Amino acid sequence: MKSIYDLTLEQLKEELKALGQKPFRAKQIYEWIYVKNVYDFHQMTNLSKELQETLSNHFSDALLTIKEKQVARDGTTKYLLELEDGGLIETVLMIQTYGRSLCVTSQLGCNMGCSFCASGLLKKQRNLTSGEIVKQVLTVMNDLKERVTHVVVMGTGEPFDNYDEVMNFIYTVNEPHGLAIGARHLTISTCGLIPGIERFSHEPIQVNLAISLHAPNDEIRNELMPINKRYNMDDLRDAIKTYIERTNRRVTLEYILLKDVNDDIKYARQLAHYLRGLNVYVNLIPYNPVDEHGYKQSLGHTITAFKDELIRLHINCTLRKEHGRDIDGACGQLRAKREKGA
């Protein structure tokens, strides 16, 4: 049975027409779900009993099941959620100064194989539907009884390897008659799938783009991120440049600092040289260690020196505040432990 959450407002209008219903009912249904937080068709009281039954017979309205929840001292909350087919995914809520930011997952497992990342501990089984991504937001909001203000598609999986479903999700949560999360409060993070970046540059919506770079040169990036052997850093830079020219949008570059791997000050200089002339900023990220990988977090003075050198070389950069260090903070850790029976 199709999930009601798989449908954008326009798609729902078409589905209702096909069922012999008035298309304007779609706005009413959207308001119940996304504004009034009512997820049961039978509680949508301005719909006729007949329409309630029709919806129940044709669409699923179930949210996801919360299997486990970890709450850190800083308020970061990691959810282990169960899909209808029994698959387990993670969603992470971070309390920021600007609001409540939710990091959602786009695939069940991941095939990108980044050597430092917990998400790839379990290989991709399938793509998530747009509705399964939407339901991560709604399930957390239903648990919190509060609104999520920002969403990043940065959890397990590569969003541009599931492009159509991720974009359907984006248009659903951005819908003014629904959750109405502003485009500039939405971010998609890719490890560097150039065809996806190219396609995304033509989307008529001002969603933020983040790219996981994590290295200053091809040698190190090849070691950390197998995708670099397919789309190297020169090609990636060209894609970023084209994206910026086409959209007039600044791009965020994510850079996880790994002790004695990519955190030497000479690599800050290489990175600055690589980024010269691009409208980007670098988000430096302290590493959340993953037992299976053996990488360690850079020392505090090394992180500070790396950041200061980038700033000296006129590269905009920020240091991400650590979230959830006292729980299974890295994407995929909680799910991997549950799947392995730890």
The reply to whether 213 sits in an annotated binding site is yes
User: What tokens appear for 150 in the block?
Assistant: 């920002």
Among left, alpha and beta (phi > 0; psi -120 to 50; other), residue 277 is left
Using the 8-state DSSP alphabet, how is residue 204 labeled?
S
Secondary element (H or E) of residue 310: helix 300-312
The reply to whether 55 sits in an annotated binding site is no
- DSSP per position, 248-262: ---EEEEEEEBTTTT
In the block, residue with structure tokens 């360690």: 296
Query: 4 and 131 in contact (C-beta within 8 Å)?
Result: yes
The reply to whether 288 sits in an annotated binding site is yes
* Residue 102, strand partner residues: 93, 151
Q: Exposed (0-12), middle (13-18) or buried (19+): which is 60, by Cβ within 10 Å?
A: middle
Which among 82, 84, 90, 132 is annotated as catalytic? Answer: 90
The reply to whether 157 sits in an annotated binding site is yes
Which among 103, 191, 317, 331 is annotated as catalytic? Answer: 331
The reply to whether 42 sits in an annotated binding site is no
The reply to whether 93 sits in an annotated binding site is no
The reply to whether 283 sits in an annotated binding site is no
The reply to whether 189 sits in an annotated binding site is yes
Neighbours of 149 (CB within 10 A): 14
Sign of dihedral through CA atoms 206, 6, 99, 104?
A: negative
Sign of dihedral through CA atoms 211, 214, 217, 220?
A: negative
Active site residue 90: yes
Query: 104 and 141 in contact (C-beta within 8 Å)?
Result: no
For the annotated binding site for S-adenosyl-L-methionine, the residues are: 157-158, 189, 212-214, 288
Catalytic residue set: 90, 331
For the annotated binding site for [4Fe-4S] cluster, the residues are: 110, 114, 117
For the annotated binding site, the residues are: 110, 114, 117, 157-158, 189, 212-214, 288
